[in-house]
Structure 1
Amino acid sequence: MSAAAATGTPAVTRTPAAAGALAGTRALLRFALRRDRVRLPVWILALFLGTLSAAGKFTSLYADPQARDSLTDTMASPAGLAMTGPRHYLDDYTFGAMLGHQMLGFLAVLVGLMNVLVVTRHTRDEEETGRAELVRSAVVGRHAQLAAALWVAVVADLALALVLAAGLGATDLAPGGVTGPLLYGLAHAAVGLVFAGVAAVTTQITAHTRAASGTALAVIGLAYALRAAGDAGGHDGLSWLSPIGWAQRSYPYVDDRWWPLLLCVALAVLCAGTGFVLSTRRDVGAGLRAARPGRRTASGALLGPLGLALRLHRPLLAGFGAGLFLTGAMYGSVLGEADGMLKDIDQVQEALRRIGGTSPAESFASMIMVILAVVASVYVVTAALRPLAEEHAGRAEPLLATGLSRVRWAGGHLAVALGGGTALLLLGGLGIGITGAASTGDPGLVLSLTGAALAYAPALWVTAGIAAVLFGRLPRAARAAWTVPVYAFVTGYLGQLLGFPGWTNDLSPFGHVPRLPAAPMDGTPLAVLTLVAAALVLVGLDGFRRRDLETK
Structure 2
Amino acid sequence: MTTATATTGTPAPAGAVPGGNALAGTRILVRFALRRDRIRLPAWILALLLGTLTTADSFRTLYDGPEDRANAARAADSPAGLATSGPRHYLDDYTFGSMLSHQMLGFTAVLVGLMSVLIVTRHTRAEEETGRAELVRSAVVGRHAHLAAALAVAVLANLALALLLTAGLAGLGPEGVDTAGSLVYGSAHAAAGLVFAAVAAVTVQVTAHTRGASGMALAVVGAAYALRAAGDSGESETLSWLSPIGWVQRSYPYVDDRWWPLLLCLVCAAACAAAGFALSTRRDVGAGLRPQKPGRPAASAALATPFGLALRLHRGMLTGFGAGLFLMGAMYGSILGDAEEMLKDIDQLQEALDRIGGTGVTESFASMVMVVLVVVAAVYVVLATLRPRAEETAGRAEPLLATGLSRARWAGGHLAVAVGGGTLVLLLAGLGFGVAGAASTGDGGLLPALVGAALAYAPALWVTAGAAVVLFGWFPRASQAAWAVPAYAFVVGYLGEILRFPDWTNDLSPFGHVPRLPAADMDWTPLLLLTLVAAGLVWLGLAGFRRRDLETK
Q: Which amino acid aligns with 2:446?
A: L
Aligned residue in 2 for 1:305: 306
**Aligned mates of 2:44, 2:361 — CA distance in 1:** 34
CA-CA distance at 1:144 after TM superposition: 0.5
Aligned residue in 1 for 2:429: 428
TM-score (norm: length of structure 1): 0.97
CA-CA distance at 1:31 after TM superposition: 1.4
Q: Which amino acid aligns with 1:152?
A: V
The answer to which of 376-385 and 62-71 deviates more is 62-71
* Mapped contact 2:201–2:276 kept (Cα < 8 A): yes
Map Cα deviations across residues 44-76 of structure 1 (whole Å, 9 max, x no partner). 222222222222222333232221221111111
Q: Which amino acid aligns with 1:159?
A: A
Aligned residue in 1 for 2:46: 45
CA-CA distance at 1:486 after TM superposition: 0.8
* Mapped contact 2:356–2:520 kept (Cα < 8 A): yes
* Mapped contact 1:366–1:517 kept (Cα < 8 A): yes
CA-CA distance at 1:172 after TM superposition: 3.1
Going from structure 1 to structure 2, the CA distance change for 1:537 and 1:257 (only over 3 Å counts) comes to: same
**Aligned mates of 1:330, 1:4 — CA distance in 2:** 83
Aligned residue in 2 for 1:369: 370
Aligned residue in 2 for 1:532: 533
TM-score (norm: length of structure 2): 0.97
* Mapped contact 1:17–1:139 kept (Cα < 8 A): no
Aligned residue in 2 for 1:216: 217
CA-CA distance at 1:16 after TM superposition: 3.0
**Aligned mates of 2:415, 2:61 — CA distance in 1:** 46
Going from structure 1 to structure 2, the CA distance change for 1:506 and 1:401 (only over 3 Å counts) comes to: same
Aligned residue in 2 for 1:63: 64
Map Cα deviations across residues 118-160 of structure 1 (whole Å, 9 max, x no partner). 1111111111111111111111000001001111111111111
* Mapped contact 1:462–1:532 kept (Cα < 8 A): yes
CA-CA distance at 1:103 after TM superposition: 1.2
Aligned residue in 1 for 2:74: 73
**Aligned mates of 2:53, 2:8 — CA distance in 1:** 70
Structure 2 SS opposite 1:236: coil
Going from structure 1 to structure 2, the CA distance change for 1:110 and 1:536 (only over 3 Å counts) comes to: same
Going from structure 1 to structure 2, the CA distance change for 1:266 and 1:8 (only over 3 Å counts) comes to: closer
Aligned residue in 1 for 2:477: 476
Aligned residue in 2 for 1:184: 185
Aligned residue in 1 for 2:87: 86
Going from structure 1 to structure 2, the CA distance change for 1:307 and 1:74 (only over 3 Å counts) comes to: same
CA-CA distance at 1:177 after TM superposition: 4.6
Q: Which amino acid aligns with 1:25?
A: T
Q: Which amino acid aligns with 1:336?
A: G
Going from structure 1 to structure 2, the CA distance change for 1:133 and 1:441 (only over 3 Å counts) comes to: same
* Mapped contact 2:17–2:140 kept (Cα < 8 A): no
Map Cα deviations across residues 328-376 of structure 1 (whole Å, 9 max, x no partner). 0000011111111112222211111111111111111111111111111
Going from structure 1 to structure 2, the CA distance change for 1:276 and 1:176 (only over 3 Å counts) comes to: closer
CA-CA distance at 1:176 after TM superposition: 9.3
**Aligned mates of 2:364, 2:202 — CA distance in 1:** 43
Is residue 331 of structure 1 aligned with residue 332 of structure 2? yes
Aligned residue in 2 for 1:30: 31
**Aligned mates of 2:525, 2:479 — CA distance in 1:** 30
Aligned residue in 2 for 1:294: 295
Aligned residue in 1 for 2:120: 119
**Aligned mates of 1:22, 1:388 — CA distance in 2:** 33
**Aligned mates of 1:408, 1:54 — CA distance in 2:** 45
Uncovered stretches (5+) of structure 1, i.e. residues with no partner: none
Aligned residue in 1 for 2:395: 394
Q: Which amino acid aligns with 1:149?
A: A
CA-CA distance at 1:83 after TM superposition: 0.9
**Aligned mates of 1:177, 1:543 — CA distance in 2:** 54
Aligned residue in 2 for 1:378: 379
Structure 2 SS opposite 1:240: helix
Going from structure 1 to structure 2, the CA distance change for 1:16 and 1:401 (only over 3 Å counts) comes to: closer
CA-CA distance at 1:8 after TM superposition: 9.7
**Aligned mates of 2:10, 2:66 — CA distance in 1:** 83
**Aligned mates of 1:239, 1:273 — CA distance in 2:** 25
CA-CA distance at 1:9 after TM superposition: 8.3
* Mapped contact 1:429–1:454 kept (Cα < 8 A): yes
**Aligned mates of 1:494, 1:164 — CA distance in 2:** 20
**Aligned mates of 1:431, 1:329 — CA distance in 2:** 4
Identity across the alignment (%): 72
* Mapped contact 1:4–1:10 kept (Cα < 8 A): no
Map Cα deviations across residues 150-190 of structure 1 (whole Å, 9 max, x no partner). 11111111111111111222233467953211111111111
Going from structure 1 to structure 2, the CA distance change for 1:400 and 1:264 (only over 3 Å counts) comes to: same
The answer to which of 52-61 and 291-300 deviates more is 52-61
**Aligned mates of 2:5, 2:162 — CA distance in 1:** 59
The answer to which of 176-185 and 367-376 deviates more is 176-185
* Mapped contact 1:492–1:511 kept (Cα < 8 A): yes
Aligned ranges for residues 87-486 of structure 1 at < 5 Å? 87-173=88-174, 177-486=178-487
* Mapped contact 1:81–1:87 kept (Cα < 8 A): yes
* Mapped contact 1:250–1:256 kept (Cα < 8 A): yes
Q: Which amino acid aligns with 1:488?
A: A
**Aligned mates of 1:7, 1:409 — CA distance in 2:** 60
Going from structure 1 to structure 2, the CA distance change for 1:396 and 1:452 (only over 3 Å counts) comes to: same
Map Cα deviations across residues 88-142 of structure 1 (whole Å, 9 max, x no partner). 1111112211111111111111111111111111111111111111111111000
Going from structure 1 to structure 2, the CA distance change for 1:167 and 1:308 (only over 3 Å counts) comes to: same
Superposition CA RMSD, Å: 1.7
**Aligned mates of 2:112, 2:82 — CA distance in 1:** 21
CA-CA distance at 1:536 after TM superposition: 1.2
Map Cα deviations across residues 415-452 of structure 1 (whole Å, 9 max, x no partner). 11110000010000000000000001111111110011
* Mapped contact 1:204–1:288 kept (Cα < 8 A): yes
CA-CA distance at 1:5 after TM superposition: 7.0
* Mapped contact 1:174–1:180 kept (Cα < 8 A): no
Going from structure 1 to structure 2, the CA distance change for 1:526 and 1:174 (only over 3 Å counts) comes to: closer
Aligned residue in 2 for 1:20: 21
**Aligned mates of 2:80, 2:194 — CA distance in 1:** 29
Uncovered stretches (5+) of structure 2, i.e. residues with no partner: none
CA-CA distance at 1:377 after TM superposition: 1.0
**Aligned mates of 1:522, 1:177 — CA distance in 2:** 49
**Aligned mates of 1:395, 1:536 — CA distance in 2:** 25
Q: Which amino acid aligns with 1:363?
A: S
Q: Which amino acid aligns with 2:247?
A: W
Going from structure 1 to structure 2, the CA distance change for 1:270 and 1:524 (only over 3 Å counts) comes to: same
* Mapped contact 1:174–1:253 kept (Cα < 8 A): no
**Aligned mates of 1:531, 1:109 — CA distance in 2:** 36
Structure 1 SS opposite 2:522: coil
Going from structure 1 to structure 2, the CA distance change for 1:7 and 1:301 (only over 3 Å counts) comes to: same
Going from structure 1 to structure 2, the CA distance change for 1:89 and 1:7 (only over 3 Å counts) comes to: same
**Aligned mates of 1:5, 1:186 — CA distance in 2:** 66
Aligned residue in 2 for 1:492: 493
